[in-house]
Chain A
């Protein structure tokens, strides 16, 4: 699902698909899954275990997508994790303290996320400060706000319907996972077919060219940040429905996974390209490392070590693969120069 354009011959296309990052990731995910299933005597294939694997994959996917959207325009959003926490805390507060209905709380959760994202985007374009620093600052602010709602207290016992919905499943597939997949498909559609999505990628790929073709880069930045906040809000809502109790620490451990998923998934930090499928597959791989840790009862610290090493490895691999590509790029540049001269 990398946003590649231009028609290609069917045969070449199959080869491209097989050689793509997504195919590699899918192969790794399947191999990891099979290895895990085999070494745990099929425990992984047991209905409940499998459901848990997918259930807790939802938030990593959504958070990874939230980061991917801003990476697409060449920005970063460090406030993704804390936004998830703040959104779910606000929604829980609305249900427990204010006694509002669950649907309203969930809607507010998503809207608050979008509002935070919009604020990030506006700050970036109005102050012209690096997005990294802006979101570092808003991350700190939101971190404080998150604790401001209920201190270190825990909200629980809110809307049983919502929790039943969040923990339930349709035909054996957890609802939370379904929500994440639907959102992922929508995001993929947005970047593939929708004009605003294409504009985002144009801005990320080459801001000058984008401006010359009449695209407002400022608007792209705001849209990307808003979308990122919106997805974080979604993740907050899923977390709310899935866990049944929330406190202010939610989102603390989401910042690094949010970068890990798109980066392993082959999304460049320079912007201009996104890969929804790659991000989702990478989230699955990270989740499998988590599962392996639980199944073999390994020290949880190993997870960080392994995921960090995997990200480094992915970076190395991408660069190594890009090497022949750069020579191709040089050839293309030479060709272009020749064309111009003639």
Chain B
């Protein structure tokens, strides 16, 4: 998405000038300490570097369209994790929740011959139910979300293999509902009115944008979302101010399961099949995007825009290194390094900004 942005090296050179601004606003950090701006600059620089090295990086059919399709999936994956990070929780079962949800969708299509969208809704409901179950266990036992979702992931991993081998035909469902094919492969440029064709944007991009906008509104304007953030930032204070914290925790986990299911649906549409391995690659990206985007693991603060940018950064690095013929393993090494590097820089910038803000 940000491929056409002009080089924004401004945030990097800005610090000296904004020092005065920082002193006026005591609590708020200066503009250059905003992780979103930094991410944006890094993405822009990387796009320029990759394009200089491999001009095909900006090739529409080879690189931009698949990138957007991938990105739609991983933005939603990141949101699925971000929703529980808002509580200060984790959901290690995002991959399997996506898989269970995708299984339910595939089953509906194959055995009930449901149309595309109703089948998807059933799958989402299953994902939400699994998520709510995880949230319920956490609330009832008071156990760490990490253990609960890890164990759930373990259990679901076994369950999915069993389900596919008993109900499906081994690894995947063969029936595809009408419309799935075109949703996965077409872009708006395939639809023309006379000589004017749409932009080269895959059809699933606007579909993936729906949850992005809804989640952003939830945490910004909706009472439920604000209460989730309060629960995350201080559970005791939230409970004392009359927030039904238990219910909010269950709701956040249910939402996480629902979003995981939606990501599973998008991936299945992209791949063209509802198969058992859906979601298996979701765990690292699910943390990568929100954490790079500035969502705290401690809870109480989220950034939807940051999550989108974090996912974009990962996608740009992956596509770029792919074009430069790096192996999958080398790619792993670099992604891990980027995560560490980005977080250390973020930490550094934050502490420098706090120190300056504090002294002024």
C-alpha gap A132/B140 in the complex (Å): 24
Main secondary structure of the interface of B (DSSP, over half): helix
Identify the stretch in B13-21, B144-152, B171-179, B191-199 within 8 Å (CB) of chain A at 4 or more residues: B144-152
Chain B residues within an 8 Å CB radius of A307: 154-155
C-alpha gap A303/B284 in the complex (Å): 24
Query: Does A270 sit at the interface, judged by CB under 8 A?
Result: yes
Query: Does A46 sit at the interface, judged by CB under 8 A?
Result: no
Q: Contact check: which of A76, A141, A308, A312 meets B158 at CB < 8 Å?
A: A308
Given A136-B284, A305-B159, A316 and B336 contact (CB-CB distance below 8 Å)? no
C-alpha gap A136/B291 in the complex (Å): 12
Instruction: Please indicate which of the listed interface residues B147, B334, B347 has the most CB atoms of chain A within 10 Å of its own CB.
Output: B147
Query: Does A137 sit at the interface, judged by CB under 8 A?
Result: yes
Query: Does B161 sit at the interface, judged by CB under 8 A?
Result: yes
- A35 CB to closest chain B CB, in angstroms? 21
Identify the stretch in A122-130, A181-189, A226-234 within 8 Å (CB) of chain B at 4 or more residues: A122-130
Query: Does A306 sit at the interface, judged by CB under 8 A?
Result: yes
Query: Does B157 sit at the interface, judged by CB under 8 A?
Result: yes
Chain B residues within an 8 Å CB radius of A138: 336, 340
Given A305-B162, A311-B150, A148 and B155 contact (CB-CB distance below 8 Å)? no
C-alpha gap A304/B276 in the complex (Å): 15
- A97 CB to closest chain B CB, in angstroms? 18
Query: Does B234 sit at the interface, judged by CB under 8 A?
Result: no
C-alpha gap A129/B292 in the complex (Å): 12
Complex contact B287–A133 (CB within 8 A): yes
C-alpha gap A305/B90 in the complex (Å): 21
Query: Does A299 sit at the interface, judged by CB under 8 A?
Result: yes
Query: Does B344 sit at the interface, judged by CB under 8 A?
Result: yes
Complex contact B347–A127 (CB within 8 A): yes
C-alpha gap A104/B100 in the complex (Å): 47
Given A133-B287, A137-B339, A311 and B154 contact (CB-CB distance below 8 Å)? yes
Given A269-B146, A315-B143, A133 and B291 contact (CB-CB distance below 8 Å)? yes
C-alpha gap A328/B284 in the complex (Å): 41
Query: Does B62 sit at the interface, judged by CB under 8 A?
Result: no
Query: Does B189 sit at the interface, judged by CB under 8 A?
Result: no
- B163 CB to closest chain A CB, in angstroms? 9
Chain B residues within an 8 Å CB radius of A143: 329, 332, 336
Instruction: Please indicate which of the listed interface residues A132, A137, A299 has the most CB atoms of chain B within 10 Å of its own CB.
Output: A137
Q: Contact check: which of B154, B335, B339 meets A260 at CB < 8 Å?
A: B154
Complex contact A304–B343 (CB within 8 A): no
Complex contact A311–B141 (CB within 8 A): no
- B295 CB to closest chain A CB, in angstroms? 11
Q: Contact check: which of A128, A148, A263, A319 meets B329 at CB < 8 Å?
A: A148
- B228 CB to closest chain A CB, in angstroms? 20
C-alpha gap A299/B154 in the complex (Å): 15
CB nearest to B342 among chain A residues: A137
Given A269-B146, A311-B150, A305 and B155 contact (CB-CB distance below 8 Å)? yes
C-alpha gap A42/B339 in the complex (Å): 52
CB nearest to A269 among chain B residues: B144
Chain B residues within an 8 Å CB radius of A39: none
C-alpha gap A318/B142 in the complex (Å): 10
Complex contact A130–B158 (CB within 8 A): no
C-alpha gap A148/B151 in the complex (Å): 31
Chain B residues within an 8 Å CB radius of A107: none
C-alpha gap A308/B93 in the complex (Å): 11
Chain A residues within an 8 Å CB radius of B146: 76, 132, 269
Q: Which residues of B contact A (CB under 8 A)?
A: 90, 137, 140-144, 146-148, 150-159, 161-162, 165, 284, 287, 291, 297, 327-337, 339-340, 343-344, 347
A-B pairs with beta carbons under 8 Å apart, 17 shown: A127-B344, A132-B90, A132-B297, A133-B291, A136-B284, A137-B339, A137-B343, A139-B336, A141-B333, A145-B329, A147-B332, A269-B146, A299-B162, A299-B165, A308-B156, A309-B151, A312-B152
Q: Which 5 A-B pairs have the closest CB atoms?
A: A308-B155, A304-B158, A305-B158, A308-B154, A140-B336
Q: Which residues of A contact B (CB under 8 A)?
A: 76, 123, 126-130, 132-134, 136-148, 256, 259-260, 263, 269-270, 299, 301-309, 311-312, 315-316, 318-320
Task: Beyond A132-B297, A143-B329, list 15 extra A-B contacts (CB 8 Å).
Answer: A132-B90, A134-B340, A137-B336, A140-B335, A141-B332, A141-B333, A141-B336, A146-B329, A256-B153, A269-B144, A269-B146, A270-B144, A301-B157, A305-B155, A308-B154
